[in-house]
Structure 1
């Protein structure tokens, strides 16, 4: 059953009398499915999504089509987050408006559907780079001694706990298993962003290995 916030987005979409609503509804589905923590609300007169702070806001373009704005929340930060350093966009979906703000435009539902895989990867990288609390993280004091080492089996702790857990959940606990995956496959995992790929690539190279396809 949809939550009250999801119901608010669905109600807003139903009330819209615009032939671009199906495009916007498909875009909203992609955002909602990118991470289980995502919550949709109506903010700034359009469906907008948050985990703690809002990070993805949709809208209908006056000149046609729809838009997705990726940002770092309503409040202006004294020091903008360097999101562009953490988000890879090999298909060129994004137009950057600064280091912490990017826009994607779509003119048809075919455009939205074709971009699903690439957009999902971008959203997961964006979420991973945001300073959201990790609800699954266990404090060091409550974790059994050696549990982190057993889970990562030699992967560097600089990857971060979210990325390490994502790899473990995929059954990737050894560098030989890592070498069987492409960068694209790994970037699709929640918490695995460009920084993690760079670190893992260096570790593979040091062992005479590489990502699949390289």
Structure 2
């Protein structure tokens, strides 16, 4: 099912990219926009990107073709720090790369489907935390 908030530009970009993991990308798009329908979807760094109030918050890494990740960040020039304990992650999905950035790997569609509820909680908490700390 296509979500009503899907960006036409993102869909066209994906149509032109001929990606092996397109069904999984679409599933992640649905999870993100169903969880936070006010996020704005665009293309940044050759993949779907999600911003809140004009500030980038979640980026999808879709290249190389066999890789699929969600990158949770505070924006390109953030000086803020996130304590991992502020983002509940009972399944241990988040891989913290720095004090302001974490990612989740999706090696297959089963991981998306089996973690959908936890993923939605992480997305909601990430967006809320960004607002609370006033991330750039």
TM interval, short-chain normalised? 0.7 to 0.9
Question: Helix, strand or coil for the counterpart of 2:131?
Answer: coil
> Which residue matches 2:26?
25
Please state how far the C-alpha of 1:81 moved relative to its aligned partner.
3.0
1:13 and 1:25 in contact (8 A); partners too: no
CA contact 1:84–1:100 (8 Å) conserved in 2: no
User: Scaled by the length of structure 1, what TM-score is found?
Assistant: 0.55
Give the one of 53, 56, 60 matched to 1:54: 56
- Richer in strand (by share): 2
CA-CA distance at 1:93 after TM superposition = 0.7
Instruction: Name the SS for the 1:74 alignment partner.
Output: coil
TM norm structure 2: 0.85
Instruction: State the superposition RMSD in angstroms.
Output: 2.0
Structure 1 ranges of 4+ moved more than 4 A: none
Aligned counterpart, 1:111 = 111
Gaps of 5+ in 2: none
- Once the two structures are TM-superposed, the CA of residue 61 in structure 1 deviates from its matched residue by 4.7
Q: Name the SS for the 2:123 alignment partner.
A: helix
How has the CA–CA distance of structure 1 residues 38 and 114 changed in structure 2, closer, same or farther, with 3 Å as cutoff? same
Q: Which residue pairs with 1:64 in the alignment?
A: 66
How far did 1:2 drift?
Answer: 4.3
Structure 2 partner of 1:129: 129
Q: Structure 2: how far apart are the matches of 1:125 and 1:36?
A: 14
Q: Are 2:74 and 2:100, in contact at CA under 8 Å, matched by a contact in 1?
A: yes
Match of 2:78 among 40, 63, 76: 76
**SS of the residue aligned with 1:54?**
strand
Q: 1:37 and 1:128 mapped to 2: Cα distance? A: 12
> Does 2:45 correspond to 1:44?
yes
**Residue of structure 1 in register with 2:8 after alignment:** 7
Please list the CA deviations of residues 92-126 of structure 1 after superposition, one character each: whole Å capped at 9, or x if unmatched. 11100122210100111121111110100001111
Q: Distance in 1 between matches of 2:33 and 2:15?
A: 17
Runs of at least 5 residues in structure 1 that lack an aligned partner in the other structure? 133-214
Q: Name the structure where helix makes up a greater proportion of residues.
A: 1
Partners of 1:83 and 1:56 in 2: CA distance: 17
Alpha-carbon displacement from aligned partner over 1:165-195 (angstroms, at most 9, x marks no partner): xxxxxxxxxxxxxxxxxxxxxxxxxxxxxxx
Q: Which has the higher contact order (CA 8 A, sep 6+)?
A: 2
Q: Which has more radius of gyration?
A: 1
